[in-house]
């Protein structure tokens, strides 16, 4: 959406048609008109030559500089590093016009510079150029809209805006899936018999039954009673023997 929109606004760039300027010459104006006609026919190389001739007639012609810069921009793909020479020249010309021309032409130069840096994803720089365009021409709706887009893109680039919404949504979705999986596993574990309890309920293999334990206990008690009876019997015999010994004859 953003790329398409900025592209549409970028296509609004056309050379400025010649108007009466201070210190302009007839030949200069004629060359500019010729350049504009060639530009409209997409004969950008020929238009470039015409604007250069206009600058030869008047090296201070801001209009010829602006139109020449616009022609350079039409000839170059600003994302193609093999043609940075033309792009660099376009930037130089536009900066010259932005700082020297009247408000109307200066605003257009700032706007073009903003578009260049926007398409290079240098949103911070493009924001400043769009602001300068609006300072020169507060009624420039295109500059205002592009400024808004550049500010939003910068926020996204810095990780603080909607540009990361999809990424955050995916992360949240993944986290929710993991939580649901953990919850399901926990529920399954709760439905399974408790192995520890199961083992606790089962008697140990080597343990004795209740009947065996009672029999053993009864046997021990019987043995203890027999032992006690023997002890008592022995004591009785000792007592009887003692009485016979002490009897007087």
pLDDT digits (tens, 9 = 90+) for 129-171: 999 999 999 999 999 999 999 999 999 989 865 544 455 555 5
Query: Comparing 79 with 4, which gets the higher pLDDT?
Result: 79
- How many Å apart are CA 119 and CA 116, to the nearest integer? 5
- Does the pTM surpass 0.75? The reply is no
- How many Å apart are CA 51 and CA 138, to the nearest integer? 29
From residue 7, alpha-carbon distances to 77, 120, 129, 130, 133 in Å are: 12, 13, 17, 15, 18
Q: Report residue 229's pLDDT band, with 50, 70 and 90 as the boundaries.
A: confident
pLDDT digits (tens, 9 = 90+) for 106-131: 999 999 999 999 999 999 999 999 99
**CA 13 to centroid of chain Cα atoms:** 33
- How many Å apart are CA 129 and CA 141, to the nearest integer? 14
The predicted pLDDT at position 148 comes to 96
Query: Comparing 81 with 69, which gets the higher pLDDT?
Result: 69
User: How would DSSP label each residue in 52-81?
Assistant: HHHHHH-TT-HHHHHHHHHHHHHH--TT-G
In this prediction, residues 68-92 reach a mean pLDDT of 84
Residue appearing with tokens 């899936």:
177
Q: What is the DSSP letter of 205?
A: T
**Which domains are assigned to the chain?**
2-162 (1.25.40.10)
- How many Å apart are CA 114 and CA 135, to the nearest integer? 13
């Amino acid at each position: 959406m953003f790329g398409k929109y900025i592209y549409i606004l970028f296509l609004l760039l056309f050379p400025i048609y010649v108007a009466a300027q201070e210190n302009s010459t007839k030949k200069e104006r004629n060359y500019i008109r010729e350049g504009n006609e060639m530009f409209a026919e997409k004969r950008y190389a020929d238009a470039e030559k015409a604007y250069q001739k206009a600058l030869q007639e008047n090296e201070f012609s801001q209009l010829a500089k602006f139109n020449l810069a616009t022609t350079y921009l039409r000839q170059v793909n600003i994302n193609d590093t093999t043609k940075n020479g033309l792009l660099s020249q376009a930037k130089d010309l536009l900066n010259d016009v932005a700082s020297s021309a009247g408000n109307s032409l200066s605003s257009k130069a700032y706007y073009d510079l903003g578009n260049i840096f926007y398409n290079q994803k240098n949103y911070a720089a493009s924001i400043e150029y769009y602001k300068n365009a609006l300072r020169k021409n507060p009624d420039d709706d295109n500059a205002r809209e592009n400024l808004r887009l550049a500010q939003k893109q910068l926020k996204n680039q810095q990780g603080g805006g909607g540009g990361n919404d999809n990424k955050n949504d995916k992360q949240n979705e993944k986290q929710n899936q993991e939580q649901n999986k953990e919850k399901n596993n926990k529920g399954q574990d709760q439905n399974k018999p408790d192995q520890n309890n199961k083992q606790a309920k089962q008697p140990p293999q080597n343990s004795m039954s209740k009947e065996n334990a009672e029999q053993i206990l009864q046997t021990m008690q019987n043995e203890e009673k027999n032992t006690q009876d023997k002890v008592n019997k022995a004591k009785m015999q000792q007592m009887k023997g003692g009485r016979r010994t002490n009897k007087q004859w």
